Amino acid sequence: MDRSLVCARPGCQGPAAAWLTYAYGSSQVWLDDDQEQDGDRWALCAAHAERLKVPKGWSQVDRRTGRPDGRVRSAAALAS
């Protein structure tokens, strides 16, 4: 009965694709693609991870790997 393996959004049964952790003290939200960290964390399916919106004044840090990083955009910026 590991409920952490499905999306934590109400009504969503999508498989966990990302892990959300947060810190009230620093108003930060992190997205990770593993669940190694201790503490409060929530599973999100891929769709909900993409649509994640953080509260006003909070910052969101996407630490997931396996995603396109900024290299393409940086290269384009250098070329222009």
How far apart, in whole angstroms, are the C-alpha atoms of residue 22 and residue 36? Answer: 14
Under a CB-based contact definition with an 8 Å cutoff, are residues 9 and 48 in contact?
yes
* Nearest in space to 35 (alpha carbons), one of 64, 1, 60: 64
Out of 16, 19, 20, 48, which residue is the one contacting Zn ion (CB under 5 A)?
48
Does 45 help bind Zn ion (rule: CB under 5 A)?
Answer: yes
Out of 4, 5, 12, 75, which residue is the one contacting Zn ion (CB under 5 A)?
12
CB nearer to Zn ion: pick between 47 and 78 = 47
Binding site for Zn ion (CB under 5 A): 7, 9, 12, 14, 45, 48
